[in-house]
Amino acid sequence: MMIQDHYANLHMHSTHSDGRYTPEELAQLAKEIGYGAIAVTDHDTTTANAPAIEACKKIGLECIFGVEFCSKYWETGHVMHLTAFHFDPEHPYLKEHIYRMSERYGGLTRDLFHRGVCEGFIKGITWDEVESFNEGIRWFTAAHVFKAMKNKGVINDEGKEALYANCFSRELKLATPKRYGFPPIEEFIPAVHDAGGILLVAHPHERLEDVKMLTKLDIDGLEVWHSELPVWERREALRVALEYDLYVSGGDDHSGLLGGSYSPGEHPVGHRHYYPPRSLGTTKYFFEEIRDARKKPDRSEYIKSLIDDNSIWQKAGGISDNIEKPNL
């Protein structure tokens, strides 16, 4: 198996949160690259799933329902990113959580928008118009504001940098109170299970010890082929999956073409977020386990064969994609 041979990309973001492409565009790009399956896992919102699933049906691509959640692991103090699949979004706990997180982030953007209006940086558009232009979206960012303003003709591309600096800078975001915090993972994991879902730790860079601890709380799996994990750590992650009998996932997230780091047709091999097509994701074997929410009986032998196959543990891209564990 080559490192570029992944069948599924199960961690991507669309314009329904902080991604570059629409759900439909992600589906089409994934098909063109050669993936057989995807999941659009926008941040704490489910709104991209329906258009993604519909687009995949039209082009013959498998698609599963997914979201990337945030939760606080109080035992370590870490905010954990978690990809969840198959859960019922109408489950009371998760429905409330999704509302709270859309208020945490969308509400923050709305507050900064109104501040920009009061200070005279934003003119000629209302927040209702921003929402109307971004129909169906609840997780708003500065990009959604800019696109609405550009569509109305009250700003052009040259004004984007000033808009972001004056109204949506990191400093302003940090200084603006958030409406809600992150829920404790100790109650979040059983809530996802109660909603019929499975929950995996996303990009567990320097978090493999957390993953081991979370198995006591019945975490279901982890991502392995993700850009934040250098090669040596991916191999270690797969060993953790073997030891604790965990599902294995992965995906582009914000790296590579599907992550929006560059446009189709570009080949920026020297880019810090460049990864060859299909070098991030997960294999068909692991995808089928996640899709069916059922582990295969020969999975130990399969995982061992991957761990022992040196040909797949090679540098694929990214400035931190180290093969060997650094000496600390």
For the chain, give every domain's residue range: 8-86+197-312, 100-175
The structural architecture, per CATH, of the domain 8-86+197-312 is: Alpha-Beta Barrel (3.20)
> Which pLDDT tens digit goes with each residue over 291-317?
999 999 999 999 999 999 998 888 877
Cα–Cα distance between 43 and 159 in angstroms, integer?
27
Q: Confidence band (pLDDT; 50, 70, 90) for 319?
A: low
- DSSP code per residue over 138-179: -S--HHHHHHHHHHHTS--GGGHHHHHHHHS-HHHHHHSPPS
**CA torsion angle for 288, 311, 210, 44 (degrees, to 10)?**
-50
> Which pLDDT tens digit goes with each residue over 205-216?
999 999 999 999
Enter the tokens of residue 41. 């896992």
> Which pLDDT tens digit goes with each residue over 46-101?
999 999 999 999 999 999 999 999 999 999 999 999 999 999 999 999 999 999 99
Average pLDDT over residues 258-264: 91
> Which pLDDT tens digit goes with each residue over 215-241?
999 999 999 999 999 999 999 999 999
Q: Please name which of 207, 186, 161 lies closest in space to residue 74, comparing C-alpha atoms.
A: 186
